[in-house]
Amino acid sequence: MYEPIRTKSVHTMAGTADFPHRSREEELDIQLAGHLAALLAVTDELRGLEPSASAELDVAAERLAEQVTRLRGGRAPVRAAVVGGGRGATSAGLHQRAHALAGRALVVAASRADTAGAILAAQRMDVHAAAVATPVAEPALTVG
């Protein structure tokens, strides 16, 4: 009544060597590098908006770049050029975004048992949380 199945099922993965597999550690490395690279991009934006904190942000950016390079097997991250002013971004908003990204990086670093990444992410979280709690004076817009 029914015709027998003559071909292998496409849903079974047993015995297929052509399917790319990554280990859990490799997947976590990719995630952590992505979160730290995003944090680096926000840090570069903050460097342009907050010239007064530029020295501290320069050091943080270099440390983030080192970690991303390590996680990517020696490939350095693409860096944004530091420009004064912003595209409508506020310091407080960027600090909030950076805090969230550092939190994500911390979770992945802890899951991966990456001490250097976890310490850096926790330090960046503290810095950005403090910056959000005591915001830098933004220039006021005048209507007139």
Which letter, b or e, does each residue of 99-135 get, where b requires 16 or more Cβ atoms within 10 Å of its Cβ?
A: bbbbbbbbebbeebebeebbebbbebbebbeebbeee
Residue scoring higher pLDDT (4 or 71): 71
Does residue 1 carry a pLDDT above 70?
A: no
- pLDDT class of 53 with cuts at 50, 70, 90: confident
Whole-number pLDDT of residue 12: 59
Round to whole Å and give the CA distance between 119 and 114.
Answer: 9
User: What is the pTM (predicted TM-score) of this model?
Assistant: 0.76
Can you tell me the mean pLDDT for 39-55?
87
pLDDT digits (tens, 9 = 90+) for 64-123: 999 999 999 999 888 877 666 555 568 889 999 999 999 999 999 999 999 999 999 999
